[in-house]
Structure 1
């Protein structure tokens, strides 16, 4: 049943799990079966240069880019409203199929970049969905609101898996990406070996902070994902290697006591990668734990 569960064998765990509903998710996730593939919506991949304008609509499931028809904003807006009405009705249907006394919850999670980016009309769809839910038996709530109103009491043991293709780790760990994990493993070991002494040394801290930034950037799962999909493999491999190489240079300089050189390199790299301003505090917390 669609309700909250406690992730533990004896139902005493502090982590709650909510069950994702596949039908409502597919209506929005799938460009083949769901709303985003509608022929009236803006075509994401066809762009006019110079200018970068998108002037065409999807036009159909298998329509070549050269045959795309002009985009009609008003038609697309109306389609978004119609899809929102259908989605609200679908949610009611799913809810009616669930046992219980109305304490269930339908979970349909999505990456926010889908709405307005990949699916240009997605933001309009969301707004129309909230309007379409008014007066219906299903209402919109956040996960925390539901858990507060209906605390999880039933225990659930989760199987290992992911949200990726096949429900496993194959999108990130496969023959094409195995080399990245080997590189990361050695870098992580080197970083944590150098971290205690560098953290205790004021001159070494900027280099340690930048090494942490470069390592975190290298650890982004985006690189393995892009390599596995085959989209822009050279870019992903280049970015991954860049951050690994820079982290390695900093770690080696710290380990070798070359603090002046490490500081200069850190300053240079910080002009490019200056995110995670509190990273040293997080390193200290990890070492203390």
Structure 2
């Protein structure tokens, strides 16, 4: 698989990459990564897409093979077919694990074949069919972070962020109720507000603040998204739209292109 940590932004001489990086003199990941994972050594072999795709197919088959084995074992013990909930950290796919999306596609394609014992089903459709007979349980509060709890995301370094984020969520709900189902400019304005709130809610910001890796960047991003939301909130409280600001904001933050601000309406 492709090696995430080896990038020309750090491998090549500064004179070569300087014209192409964000801030002159500061090395960053560029996305150009020419090496494959090659064990515990700095001497990496060149990345080959064909070999990586062969490994994707192998690992997808192995994944389903192990699901089948575990299913057979549990089925014998439970006297019924087991249901596995497959949860993936999507942030890994295409990023830390460059081929992760390809792997997931292969798993889905293989599982759809008639010869496969494993069959895919959505949680909602399964619960609609068999949910009434299932025992319900309350999951324990846990995370994948250090210690398995919330210490990483709720710490002296980042606790200050939550009161501001929660206030933005509260005000976004207020806007969604007061101005439900708007069209044209007001709809775009409110969609941008929702976009800014979601970006402010990203767990990356408290994570970075805790790790002290790029604290100025994380703090700046968080404050900017909250400030942008307040632009919309202040204007909408006066039943107005700042069109010039909106056009610039939509070009700056183009994520969630199909967002609908009404998702924040608690009455829906």
Same fold (TM over 0.5): yes
Q: 1:167 to 1:146 in 2, by over 3 A?
A: farther
Greater Cα shift, 170-179 or 225-234: 225-234
- Could you tell me which residue of structure 1 aligns to residue 47 of structure 2? 71
The 1-side partners of 2:118 and 2:172 are apart by 48
Q: Does the 8 A contact of 1:210 with 1:270 survive in 2?
A: yes
| CA deviation string 1:126-146 (max 9, x = no partner) | 465554996877313123454
Is the partner of 1:80 in helix, strand or coil?
A: helix
Does the aligned pair in 2 maintain the 1:217–1:243 contact within 8 Å? yes
CA separation of 1:234/1:216 partners in 2, compared to 1, >3 Å: closer, same or farther?
same
Q: Which residue of 2 aligns with 1:248?
A: 230
2:199 maps to: 217
1:90 paired residue number: 66
CA distance in 1, matches of 2:246, 2:50: 51
Query: Which residue matches 2:252?
Result: 272
Which deviations, in whole Å up to 9, do the C-alpha atoms of 1:154-202 show, x marking residues without a partner?
2222134245324433343222221110222343455566776677999
Give TM-score scaled by structure 1 length: 0.63
| RMSD between aligned residues | 4.1
Match of residue 83 from structure 2: 105
Q: Any conservation in 2 of the 1:160–1:168 contact (CA below 8 Å)? A: no
Specify whether residues 75 and 132 from structure 1 end up closer, same or farther in structure 2 by C-alpha distance, changes over 3 A only: farther
Q: How does 1:1-289 map to 2 (within 5 A)?
A: 41-48=1-8, 53-60=32-39, 62-64=40-42, 67-98=43-74, 99-112=77-90, 114-126=92-104, 129=107, 131=110, 138-144=117-123, 146-147=126-127, 150-165=130-145, 166-190=147-171, 205=186, 210-255=192-237, 257=238, 259=240, 262=242, 264-273=244-253, 279-282=260-263, 285-286=265-266, 288=267
SS at match of 2:79: coil
The 2-side partners of 1:126 and 1:278 are apart by: 25
Contact 1:213–1:279 under 8 Å retained in 2 = no
What is the Cα deviation at residue 113 of structure 1? 5.0
Residues 139/201 of structure 1: CA separation in 2 closer, same or farther (3 Å cut)? closer
Deviation digits for residues 219-274 of structure 1, max 9, x if unmatched? Answer: 2333233434555433322211101122224434554x4947x5554454344346
Count of paired positions: 242
Alignment gaps of 5+ in structure 2: 10-16, 18-29
Q: Report the 3-state secondary structure (helix = DSSP H, G, I; strand = E; otherwise coil) of the residue aligned with 2:209.
A: helix
Residues in 1 aligned to 2:57 and 2:185: alpha-carbon distance in whole angstroms: 57
Question: What is the distance in 1 between the residues matched to 2:57 and 2:173?
Answer: 53
1:82 shift after superposition = 3.6
Q: Taking structure 1 as reference, are residues 81 and 203 closer, same or farther at Cα in structure 2, changes over 3 Å only? A: closer
User: Cα gap change, 1:91/1:243 in structure 2, threshold over 3 Å: closer, same or farther?
Assistant: same
CA contact (8 A) 1:42 1:120 kept: yes
